[in-house]
């Protein structure tokens, strides 16, 4: 191969790689996808739209009726966070289904 053909070939390959990487990085956290999330959806349905979220660990101390401090009571609420750039949304699931969402 001559040098000019080699350079053109490398530029073409680089352009294809940039195109593939650029389309894969598109944010799923956008208004259209946010509007698709409705109460009662399962976590897997939400992740199919927004991708995997980050579970927020909530810690605390509960006070019993006798005034004794203990660990936070376990409940069926889980909150997940999705971030992309300056966009951040959270969704709370109760028993594995969307209970509420916050922009």
Quote the percentage of the chain above a pLDDT of 90. 44
Q: What is the mean pLDDT of residues 5-11?
A: 63
With 80 as the cut, is the pLDDT of residue 63 above it?
no
Write out pLDDT tens, residues 34-51: 999 999 999 999 999 999
CA-to-CA distance for 29 and 82, rounded, in angstroms? 7
| Residue 38 backbone phi and psi in degrees, to 5 | -130, 155
Is there a domain that residue 6 lies in? no
Q: What is the mean pLDDT of residues 68-85?
A: 76
Is there a domain that residue 9 lies in? no
Is there a domain that residue 20 lies in? no
Is there a domain that residue 80 lies in? yes
Is there a domain that residue 98 lies in? yes
Number of domains the chain is built from: 1
Is there a domain that residue 97 lies in? yes
Q: 3-state class of 32 per DSSP?
A: helix
Domain containing 39: what range? 27-102
CATH number of 65's domain? 3.30.1450.10
């Amino acid at each position: 191969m001559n040098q000019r053909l080699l350079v053109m070939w490398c530029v073409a390959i680089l352009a294809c790689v940039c195109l593939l990487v650029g389309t894969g990085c598109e944010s799923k956290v956008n208004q259209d996808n946010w509007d698709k999330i409705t109460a009662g959806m399962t976590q897997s349905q939400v992740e199919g739209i927004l991708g995997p979220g980050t579970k927020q660990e909530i810690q605390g101390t509960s006070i019993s009726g006798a005034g004794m401090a203990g660990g936070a009571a376990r409940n069926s609420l889980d909150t997940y966070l999705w971030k992309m750039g300056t966009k951040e949304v959270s969704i709370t699931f109760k028993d594995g289904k969307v209970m509420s969402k916050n922009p």
